[in-house]
């Protein structure tokens, strides 16, 4: 199962935290891992990161790169505007004056802190060279870790404390957070709702281990100096409490810090669960990186890296295409299923009709046979009665003055020979036959006039089609 992962790479160690966030902002089934990377090349660091993932069988989900505070330039700005759009434009103008880089060589993030007593907008601005970020991103990509977002360790430390102690924090007070790492200490001032001020101090757990008294004394001096800077630049108000965490040795000098600054001290730990896989005495801090692993919300103090934004955009487009493709396949499947079911139903209905037709055909076969016999008998009787019918119709059509001397009939025609007093009587007889519906194509074969002692008459021969 994929788990959220956060990674931090500083000058001496590689930190990796993996786990599953719970409702209290802590990580269950967590792994907090650290590897010494002093004098290692970028390729070797990539190999170390890959070995950590493989050795502990970590399947990374959303990956967050935590930038150590010492790598980032942070400034508190007071800008003559409260409009978010104008503040964004002013921030872009100011950041190129703060660092010796061109605008296209840096990335930044900022948060609006409110309004000061003069009505100016207060902004916490963080800037880093994009080359440093790309270097770390490329190392991790070679190890199989593709970064989804980039944040500041100070923001992670603040999240670490607030997620556990929110109920004890007053909305009217400010607090000091001290996160002691191997080589640096992150000095943070915040309230319950936002990060207000942060400063990197070049004293860490290794310095205190080597020379405890001198290291602690120097650290307290830097803490006092940081407070003075904050009072002069921001709010001249004493913090209500110090939250001290990071390396294991912080418990040895927490009382000294509290008495020197005259502020009560509370020890805090990284928001990891009970399953901690950092062997031996721990001289590194997991506070920021663990909190970023447990904090999965999209809103926060994050840097916008162009390459990461493009990759996330492509991922989202691919996801949408997959959803669209799956939807289209589902719709096509449903349509095909409906079409095939209808075809199957029609095929079954056709087969049923064919079966019924076969049964009807079997039942009708005998009837058709009987009808054929009846038709044959009818035709036979009709043929026998046909000469009588023809002769009846013919004799009804013969006028009194025409006499028939010969009559010959076959299946299709009738030949008549006879005589009449005049030729006109013969034509009149032909006209009468043409008007009959029983005869057609009446042809006059010949007509001849003859004279006898009894008088003059006309012989004729006719052929009629029945």
Last residue of a domain, one of 351, 370, 393: 393
Same domain as 343, residue 324 = yes
Confidence of residue 398 (pLDDT cuts 50, 70, 90): confident
d(CA 435, CA 417): 20
Q: Report yes or no on 444 lying in a domain.
A: yes
Question: In terms of domains, do 296 and 385 share one?
Answer: no
Based on the fold, state whether residues 108 and 226 are members of the same structural domain: yes
Residue 403 lies in a domain: yes
Q: What is the CATH number of the domain that holds 421?
A: 3.30.1360
Q: Are residues 268 and 239 in the same domain?
A: yes
Segment 2-26, tens digit of pLDDT:
889 999 998 889 999 998 887 766 7
Please tell me whether residues 359 and 245 are part of one structural domain. no
Same domain, 381 and 432: no
Cα separation, 404 vs 463, whole angstroms: 13
Q: What is the DSSP string of 360-394?
A: HHHHHHHHHHHHHHHHHHHHHHHHHHHHHHHHHHH
Q: Are 19 and 4 in contact (CB under 8 A)?
A: yes
Does residue 303 carry a pLDDT above 80?
yes
Does one domain contain both 349 and 457?
A: no
Q: Model-level pTM greater than 0.75?
A: no
- Burial string for 432-464 (b: 16+ CB within 10 Å, else e) reads ebeeeeebeebeeeebeeeeeeeeebbebbbeb
Asked if residue 334 belongs to a domain, the reply is: yes
Which of 345, 368, 393 corresponds to the end of one domain?
393
Question: Are 344 and 428 in a shared domain?
Answer: no
What percent of the chain is modeled with pLDDT above 90?
45
Same-domain status, 334 and 185: no
pLDDT computed for residue 280 by the predictor: 47
Domain, as residue range, for 21:
3-304
Quickly state the pLDDT bin for 278 (edges 50, 70, 90). Answer: very low
Average the pLDDT over 92-119 and give the result: 90
Is residue 386 domain-shared with residue 404, that is, in the same domain?
Answer: no
Total structural domains in the chain? 3
Q: Does residue 107 lie within any of the structural domains?
A: yes
Whether the predicted pLDDT of 277 surpasses 60 = no
Check residue 447 and give its pLDDT: 84
Final residue of a structural domain among 347, 366, 393: 393
Residues 320 and 294 in one domain: no
CA 21 – CA 216 distance, rounded (Å): 35
Residue 309, domain member (yes or no): no
Output the pLDDT for position 384: 61
**pLDDT of 423 above 90:** no
User: What rounded mean pLDDT belongs to the chain?
Assistant: 86
Model confidence pLDDT, tens digit, residues 121-133: 999 999 999 999 9
């Amino acid at each position: 199962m994929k788990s959220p992962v956060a990674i931090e790479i500083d000058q001496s160690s590689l930190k990796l935290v993996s786990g599953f966030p719970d409702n209290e902002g802590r990580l269950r089934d967590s792994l907090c891992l650290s590897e010494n990377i002093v004098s290692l090349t970028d390729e070797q660091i990539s190999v170390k990161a890959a070995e950590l993932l493989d050795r502990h069988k970590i399947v990374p989900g959303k990956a967050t790169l935590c930038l150590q505070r010492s790598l980032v330039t942070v400034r508190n700005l007071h800008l003559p505007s409260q409009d978010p759009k104008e503040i964004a434009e002013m921030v872009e103008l100011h950041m190129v004056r703060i660092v010796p880089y061109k605008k296209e060589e840096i990335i930044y993030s900022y948060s609006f802190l409110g309004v000061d007593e003069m009505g100016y907008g207060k902004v916490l601005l963080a800037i880093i060279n994009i080359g440093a970020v790309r270097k770390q991103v490329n190392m991790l990509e070679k190890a199989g870790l593709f970064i989804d977002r980039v944040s500041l360790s100070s923001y992670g430390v603040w999240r670490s404390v607030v997620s556990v102690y929110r109920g004890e924090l007053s909305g009217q007070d400010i607090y000091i957070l001290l996160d002691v790492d191997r080589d640096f200490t992150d000095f943070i001032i915040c309230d319950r709702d936002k990060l207000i001020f942060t400063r990197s101090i070049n004293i860490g757990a290794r310095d205190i281990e080597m020379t405890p008294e001198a290291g602690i004394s120097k650290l307290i001096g830097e803490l006092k100096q940081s407070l003075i800077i904050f009072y002069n630049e921001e709010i001249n108000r004493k913090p209500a409490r110090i939250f001290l965490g990071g390396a294991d040795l912080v418990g040895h000098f927490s009382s000294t810090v509290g008495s020197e600054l005259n502020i009560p001290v509370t020890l805090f730990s990284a928001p990891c669960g009970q399953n901690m896989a950092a062997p031996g005495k721990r001289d590194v801090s997991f506070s920021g990186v663990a909190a970023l692993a447990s904090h999965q919300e999209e809103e926060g103090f994050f840097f916008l890296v162009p390459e990461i934004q493009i990759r996330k955009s492509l991922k989202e487009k691919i996801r949408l295409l997959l959803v669209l493709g799956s939807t289209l396949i589902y719709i096509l499947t449903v349509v095909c299923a409906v079409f095939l079911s209808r075809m199957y139903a029609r095929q079954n209905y056709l087969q049923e009709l064919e079966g019924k037709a076969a049964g009807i055909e079997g039942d009708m076969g005998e009837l058709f046979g009987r009808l054929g016999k009846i038709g044959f008998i009818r035709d036979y009787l009709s043929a026998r009665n046909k000469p009588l019918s023809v002769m009846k119709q013919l004799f009804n059509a013969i006028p009194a003055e025409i006499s028939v001397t010969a009559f010959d009939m076959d299946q299709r025609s009738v030949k008549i020979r006879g005589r009449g007093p005049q030729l006109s009587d013969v034509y009149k007889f032909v006209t009468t036959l043409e008007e009959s519906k029983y005869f057609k194509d009446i042809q006059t074969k010949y007509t001849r006039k003859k004279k006898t002692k009894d008088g003059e008459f006309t012989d004729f021969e006719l052929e009629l089609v029945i």
